[in-house]
Amino acid sequence: MPQSASNRILSTPSSYARKHYLYIQEIGTLKSLEPHISKRQNLNSYLFFVVLDGSGYLTCESARHTIKAGDCAWIDCTRPYSHESSANDPWRLMWIHFYGSQAKDFYENFLAAGNSFLFRPRNIQPFTAALEQIYQLQEEKSSLKELCSHKYITDIITLCFTDNKASLSEGYSIGQKLKQVHNYLLENCHHRINLDDLADSFFISKYHLSRAYKKAYGITIGNTLTAGRISRAKSMLRFSMDSVDSIAVSCGFQDSAYFIKVFKNAENMTPSEYRRKW
């Protein structure tokens, strides 16, 4: 007797897709009819799946997790993992194996931001809708299927970043406070801001603020300030006649020499070159 009922499509990407896109390797649905363990490792692949119904177990990173309807998992398949449907409550899954030149960086940044490979989003519908679109593209054999599949895989990854409750594990209040800090930095980046004053203003330990901010946004407070100042400077270079020295001061840089150095590191050109080209 079969252990599961599944629909799957295997795909072989073009050389162009391998080089430039996130591309699918397999995609499908699975309805478990009885418990069986699926084990893999050493695959150049990333597996994303959604539990639609039922429950089961996922063993990954040397730990066994119970998962149920509404849970999602994003797994690095180069590492050992296994999953198994429960006997009393067989599960139904939607899944995709994908890869690409950017896949590893996306996954490592996802984990570095404090997210969990196993999470429960507020709503699985956007995830399942993207998976359905990818499946349909493979069935229709559209000439644009590789480009469009790349788009939908990117949508799924974006959802993993933005609707991952693990990133909210510190609680609603700290999440709201970090958002206030982030908005304050963007609005006041042209002013001199130091960590002590920032922490005092928002009634939070500066050490905790630094760690929590980087975990939530993936960059440091200093990086946020620098990016905001560079963006402000670019606008002034394009839409004002102010001198580079004046713009440096207006954007919160200590002097024009430092401004030119930071700007060149960010844009691979000096402020004057940027003004001429844009």
Residues 35-54, mean pLDDT to the nearest whole number: 88
Separation CA 53–CA 93 (nearest Å): 7
| Cβ-defined contacts of 249-257 (< 8 Å, 24+) | 250/190, 251/189, 251/190, 252/189, 252/190, 252/191, 252/192, 252/225, 253/229
**Same-domain check for residues 8 and 135:** yes
**CATH number for the domain harbouring residue 227:** 1.10.10.60
- Range of the structural domain that residue 92 is part of: 4-168
At which of 117, 133, 168 does a domain end? 168
- Taking only the tens place, the pLDDT of each residue in 67-91 is 999 999 999 999 999 999 998 899 9
User: In the chain, how many domains are there?
Assistant: 2
Residues 199-210, mean pLDDT to the nearest whole number: 85
**Same-domain check for residues 155 and 39:** yes
Beta bridge partner(s), residue 85: 56
Enter the tokens of residue 167. 């990133």
- The dihedrals phi and psi of 119, each to the nearest 5 degrees, come to -150, 165
When computed from its CA atoms, the radius of gyration of the chain, rounded to whole angstroms, is 23
**Same-domain check for residues 199 and 129:** no
Separation CA 202–CA 18 (nearest Å): 47
**pLDDT class of 4 with cuts at 50, 70, 90:** low
| 11 membership: H or E segment, kind and range | none
**Same-domain check for residues 160 and 132:** yes
Tell me what percent of the residues of the chain surpass a pLDDT of 70. Answer: 93
Separation CA 70–CA 64 (nearest Å): 18
Separation CA 138–CA 132 (nearest Å): 10
What is the structure's pLDDT at 260?
96
Helical H segments across the chain, by residue range? 15-20, 103-112, 125-140, 145-162, 172-187, 195-201, 206-217, 221-239, 244-250, 256-267, 271-277
Residues 154-165, mean pLDDT to the nearest whole number: 88
Separation CA 4–CA 93 (nearest Å): 11
**CATH number for the domain harbouring residue 113:** 2.60.120.280
**pLDDT class of 148 with cuts at 50, 70, 90:** very high
Residues 187-206, mean pLDDT to the nearest whole number: 88
**Same-domain check for residues 18 and 148:** yes
pLDDT at 166 over 70: no
**Same-domain check for residues 101 and 211:** no
Find, among 222, 6, 202, the residue nearest to 95 by Cα: 6
**Same-domain check for residues 40 and 158:** yes
CB count within 10 Å of CB 108 equals 11
**Same-domain check for residues 226 and 202:** yes
**Same-domain check for residues 125 and 177:** no
What is the structure's pLDDT at 200?
85
**Same-domain check for residues 155 and 130:** yes
Enter the tokens of residue 162. 């933005």
What is the structure's pLDDT at 171?
42
Mean pLDDT of the chain: 89
Separation CA 8–CA 136 (nearest Å): 11
- Taking only the tens place, the pLDDT of each residue in 95-116 is 999 999 999 999 998 887 778 8
**Same-domain check for residues 220 and 152:** no
**Same-domain check for residues 142 and 188:** no
**pLDDT class of 269 with cuts at 50, 70, 90:** very high
